[in-house]
Amino acid sequence: MTREREKPMDHRHGAFKCLIVITFFLCSCSLTRVDDDDKIGAPFQDHPNPGVRYSADVGGGVGAIVGIPVMIIALPITATIAAITNENATPLAPLIGTSLGFSTLFGAVTWPLFGWWKVTDVNQPRVIDDKSVARPDWASSAGKDQYGIWADLIVGRARQRMRLIPAGSFSMGCDDTEIDAAWEAFKKISPETPRNWFAAPKHKVTLTNSYWLADSSCTQEFWEAIMGTNPARFHDDPQRPVEQVSWSDCQIMLLALSGRFPGMLARLPTEAEWEYACRAGTNTALYTGGIIYKGQNNAPALDSIAWYSGNSSIDVAHQEFIESFGLPESEYQITRMGTNPVKRKQPNSWGLYDMIGNVKQWCADWMERYPTDAVVDPSGPVKESSRVTRGSSWREWPVYHRCGFRSDDPPDDRSEELGFRICISAKQATSP
């Protein structure tokens, strides 16, 4: 009797079984790279590590769109290979194994090519968008909207939205046409005022570092969450900006804020940082365009973006300034004046509210004359007598409410016009 010849493909058939197990394992690993994400498609701010979410959305899409066609194409190929190499073997195992192998190989090759691997590792820095902008440690939530990248800073129940201001260059100051218009309008109020009082010659400024800037003036609610007191005169609404704070008071508050978040560098913006953010890429008197003065207290272009002497009517009794100054040629009939809650007017294109009007905002710099040459990261002189304030206030004339208008106040001044805006260095401090 002739002994039946052994089937030569038994061992290879076993190898295909191993291949099936391995490929299923690899596919399973690739799909579970979303780690602890059980909120596929959830908003950025609701996820503990938001960048990880993209691995599931994109990876799942690749598997569905590409994996199935690859398997369909692989079916006749693997069937042909099986028929040539082992006509007695069932082609199902090598067919499935090879098909899944092709799919896994495709995913392994394409993910790095398209950069999706960058957001799948929980050990990587948390990111805000596909450009891998690091989410700061102090942010309770972060994301990107039509204005740009934002991050929320929360202390107790108080929330302050911060906007990432990108590094860049701009033309700082005012052109002659703008200065002449403001001077002509102001001469009707104070004829003896010289033109050079409004001078702020244009010069190129380059800021080499990005920074976070609050989207509004610091509110009374946020100040009280840090300091425990509320120094504001108009304190009937916690969303009004804090005022009656000196430059030195702001330094104490910012130091206390930084102490709550290790590595944070909370500070006042420099004058250049303030104007760069206010302009948001524009070079006109306002970030919405030009301005026309129709009266001492009437500039309609301001109404949609700023609280100023012509529209800052409130219900809080504060009539002494009206009796003192009077409001001739006002845009509206005003009986009482004061600050208004933040973020009630139109923001600029970078999502910043009240950059002009409501309260003047302290800057970090001492006041000095502008340079004529281009400068990089200016921070003002070492010592002078007054600190720069920007933005003008609820009770000031419209000629002051321009992106390039400069003012200054003694650092210990605590008037009801003075507030500030939080700035945080984008590069966090490191321990020595």
Return the pLDDT at 37: 30
Tokens (6 digits) for 156 = 């107790």
Alpha carbon distance 390, 213 (integer Å): 14
Return the pLDDT at 106: 54
Alpha carbon distance 158, 205 (integer Å): 34
To the nearest 5 percent, what fractions of the chain are helix, strand and coil? 35, 15, 50
Consecutive H or E run containing 168: strand 168-172
Contact 210, 134 (CB under 8 A): no
Instruction: Say which amino acid occupies 402.
Output: R
Domain boundaries, the chain: 10-119, 141-425
The dihedral through the CA atoms of 390, 347, 282, 175 has a sign that is negative
Return the pLDDT at 399: 94
Does the model's pTM come out above 0.75? no
Alpha carbon distance 330, 390 (integer Å): 23
Contact 204, 169 (CB under 8 A): yes
54 sits in the region (left: phi over 0; alpha: psi -120 to 50; else beta) called alpha
3-state class (DSSP) for residue 227? helix
Alpha carbon distance 92, 54 (integer Å): 34
Return the pLDDT at 245: 98
3-state class (DSSP) for residue 416? coil
Alpha carbon distance 418, 55 (integer Å): 48
Return the pLDDT at 92: 54
Return the pLDDT at 196: 80
The dihedral through the CA atoms of 213, 214, 215, 216 has a sign that is negative
Q: For the chain, how far is it from start to end, CA to CA, in angstroms?
A: 88
Instruction: Say which amino acid occupies 205.
Output: V
Write the DSSP symbol of residue 230: -
Return the pLDDT at 4: 47
Return the pLDDT at 68: 56
Residue in this structure with the two tokens 């033109």, named with its chain if needed: 195
Return the pLDDT at 382: 87
Return the pLDDT at 83: 60
Low-confidence ranges of the chain (pLDDT < 50): 1-9, 17, 21, 24-64, 87-90, 110-127, 130, 319-320, 322-324, 429-432
- Listed residue (365, 422, 415, 409) closest to 245, CA to CA: 415
Residues ≥6 apart with Cβ < 8 Å to 124 = 51, 118
Contact 186, 214 (CB under 8 A): no
Contact 31, 63 (CB under 8 A): yes
Alpha carbon distance 367, 66 (integer Å): 62
CB atoms closer than 10 angstroms to residue 96: 19
3-state class (DSSP) for residue 210? coil
CATH architecture of 141-425: Alpha-Beta Complex (3.90)
- Give pLDDT tens digits for 113-164: 443 333 333 333 344 554 556 789 999 999 999 999 999 999 999 999 999 9
